[in-house]
Amino acid sequence: MIRYTITTVLLVLASFVVQQFIPAFTGFHQSRILLVQLVFLCSAVTVGSPTMLLLAFISGFLWDTQSYIGTLNGDPQIYTQPVESLRFGYSILLFAAMGYLMQGVQPLFHQGKWQFSVVLSGIAIFLYLMAEYLIICFVRGGMMMDRFIVIQMACTALLTMLFSPIVFWILFRIAALCRHSINPAAAKKKNRRRRR
């Protein structure tokens, strides 16, 4: 269990590095693959609540740190939002909320029905983006919901969701290497079939 937890933390940290090299898809409404959020969501459904909260803290803290440093030292054409627009630490709460949403389908995941988690990861990404946008609008004091923004959020959520089976495959492989069962009910069914 501890080896699997450490490995998921390392996987989340690695996703921050890979995220830097993933470009926006200009032909697909400027959507992006949110790899950090995806790795967190897929990991959140495979671990208990304390580990999920640890991953939410690490992910949210590093996401805010990256955004904060990027707006201070980065290219103003890329980092268009001023630092004052959002408070440091809001992402931790958003990651935790997404994690608890994924934990809601954990009983199905433990039975080997990981497909529900794939669909829910897309929904969670969309809700994350919508909540982040609404927080920005609230802080700036103006609500401007544009059709293009909603389409961009939906395309980003869909595009990110399409990559979740790959992340789940990686997590299943890591669990096997760590000798940790992330879906015990499915493992019991396989053992019963082997005995027969």
Q: Are 186 and 112 in contact (CB under 8 A)?
A: yes
Show the DSSP H helices in the chain as ranges.
2-19, 35-44, 49-73, 90-103, 106-110, 115-140, 147-162, 164-177, 184-195
Q: Dihedral (C-alpha) 51, 190, 108, 14: value to the nearest 10 degrees? A: 40
Whole-prediction pTM value?
0.82
pLDDT digits (tens, 9 = 90+) for 89-106: 788 999 999 999 999 888
Complete domains list, the chain, with CATH = 2-22+30-183 (1.10.1760)
pLDDT digits (tens, 9 = 90+) for 2-50: 889 899 999 999 999 998 888 877 777 778 889 999 999 999 999 999 9
